[in-house]
Amino acid sequence: MRIPVRLLDVRPLRGSRPFRALWIGSSASQLGGQIATVAVLAQVWDVTGSPVGTGAIGLTTGLPMLLFGLLGGALADAVDRRAVLRATTAGQLLAAAGLCVQALAHNRNVLGLLALVAAGSACSALGAPARRTLPVRLLPADQVAAGLALTNVSFQAAMLAGPATAGLIIARWDLPAAYAAQAAAVAVSALAVLRLPAMPPEGTVSGRRRRPERGGWRIVLRRQTLWGSLATDLSATLLAMPIALFPLVNEARFGGNPQTLGLFLSAVAVGGIAAGLLSGTVTRWRRGGLVQLTAAGVWSLALAGFGLAGPLWPGLGCLAVAGAADTVSVVTRSALIQLETPDAYRGRVSSVEHVIGVAGPELGNFRGGLLASATSAPFSLVAGGLSAGVAIAVVATANTALRAYRTPSPAPPAREPDPSAPEASAPDAYEPDASGTAGTAPATG
């Protein structure tokens, strides 16, 4: 059977003006974030000259992501999500402006610099769950995966273009210009958020705070599709994440050539972008659970193949396949989780997804490094890839609901009434229905 190959599905950009504004703002913010990452790394190294100092950047960024990500989930289920994004984006803009000011003042205080980095990371984490819930509210069900694919492509493009752009800016105009570029990018994101419609959790009135529905965290365990999708992602990243092993592989096989090390990272990104540009092929498939399981399995086996590959080009090919599979898995997982979660719980479930997405790769890199220190980098890659494949197979076998999941069909367009048909009388909103329960009273303004 011939599978038609389709390019990136841009229907969400054409059909939804709010989603288009959200995508433009998010793309600008991601590019600015990559520029700022390089600038902070360069400034901390210039001040401290110590790998401990540069390592502290990861701690300063990661801890607020974990702590404030969960808090942001509860917040997104209690108030208007547009209001959450407006406030947190404003906080990011202030932090970006602070970074620019301290660079202009030739700051040499690393703690002050890291405090601004932590503040920006906390604001980003607080807004991340609310941001994740927006595509499913702005797009028809059959376009949610396509919208997430567009977001993923812009993220991959920022990963490729951001560091190179930062290097050019810093070399030509120094650190203040790089931080100013980030501030300008966050300002674009803030303007985009202002154009979004009000987005209160369903069943509430915009602007009113409410207590989130109970069971927001337990729903992940109660719904097979949710825990199965998250367990698949956690298995793939916790057991097979390869980034920490790249320097060891490069040292053992290619003499520590820094250009080769850069090719490892680029191969993963190139594979991801290629999959994103061809994502129209998979975003139209309704078997999202099966697609995610398959893609996660391909990711695991491709990384095991990288561990076995001796020459450079087969290894780069395995990394490109892994990057492509990762993109497909991320897009289908994100769409499934948003579509399967009731709106009253989306903020908290999105925060769980966010934390797993942040912590899983970092713990996976730590696991891979420990195993490689006791054995070797190729053994760690092969063992990790194969064990991840086995774990994913176990999830697929045990979780029938995930294997059988289908994306909901979009609601049919409203039909024009037939003027020749007799007019039907509207049922009384308070009259009991056939089941004997009272109908719901119409909402008042």
165 lies in the same domain as 258: no
Q: How confident is the model at residue 426 (pLDDT cuts 50, 70, 90)?
A: very low
| pLDDT greater at residue 404 or residue 210 | 404
311 lies in the same domain as 245: yes
Rounded CA Rg of the chain: 24
224 lies in the same domain as 373: yes
43 lies in the same domain as 169: yes
133 lies in the same domain as 71: yes
In a domain, 75, yes or no: yes
Section 253-263 average pLDDT: 78
In a domain, 405, yes or no: yes
In a domain, 386, yes or no: yes
Highest mean pLDDT among 7-21, 291-305, 348-362: 291-305
400 lies in the same domain as 294: yes
Query: Length of the chain in residues, anyone?
Result: 445
Section 372-399 average pLDDT: 93
Find the CATH number of the domain harbouring 134.
Answer: 1.20.1250.20
In a domain, 151, yes or no: no
pLDDT at 239 over 60: yes
pLDDT at 443 over 50: no
In a domain, 176, yes or no: yes
Q: How many domains does the chain have?
A: 2
Section 232-259 average pLDDT: 85
The pLDDT value recorded for residue 213 is: 60
275 lies in the same domain as 174: no
Q: Measured between alpha carbons, how far is 421 from 96 in angstroms, rounded to an integer?
A: 62
378 lies in the same domain as 235: yes
The pLDDT value recorded for residue 301 is: 97
| pLDDT greater at residue 440 or residue 401 | 401
pLDDT at 2 over 70: no
pLDDT at 428 over 50: no
135 lies in the same domain as 245: no
Q: Which two tokens stand for residue 399?
A: 């979780």
The pLDDT value recorded for residue 111 is: 93
In a domain, 348, yes or no: yes
In a domain, 94, yes or no: yes
Q: Measured between alpha carbons, how far is 385 from 367 in angstroms, rounded to an integer?
A: 12
Q: Tens digits of per-residue pLDDT, 202-211? A: 765 444 545 5
String of DSSP letters for 174-218:
-HHHHHHHHHHHHHHHHHHHHTSPP-PPTTS-TT---PPPTTTTT
Q: Tens digits of per-residue pLDDT, 35-70? A: 998 888 888 888 888 767 776 777 788 788 888 988
> Can you give the residue range of the structural domain that contains 185?
13-143+159-200
Q: Is pTM beyond 0.85 here?
A: no
The residue whose two tokens read 């030739």 is: 106
Closest CA to 320 of 124, 156, 113: 156
220 lies in the same domain as 196: no
In a domain, 431, yes or no: no
| pLDDT greater at residue 414 or residue 238 | 238
User: Using CB atoms within 10 A of its CB, is residue 23 exposed (0-12), middle (13-18) or buried (19+)?
Assistant: buried
pLDDT at 442 over 70: no
45 lies in the same domain as 84: yes
> 3-state class of 261 per DSSP?
helix
34 lies in the same domain as 178: yes
The pLDDT value recorded for residue 126 is: 92
pLDDT at 319 over 90: yes
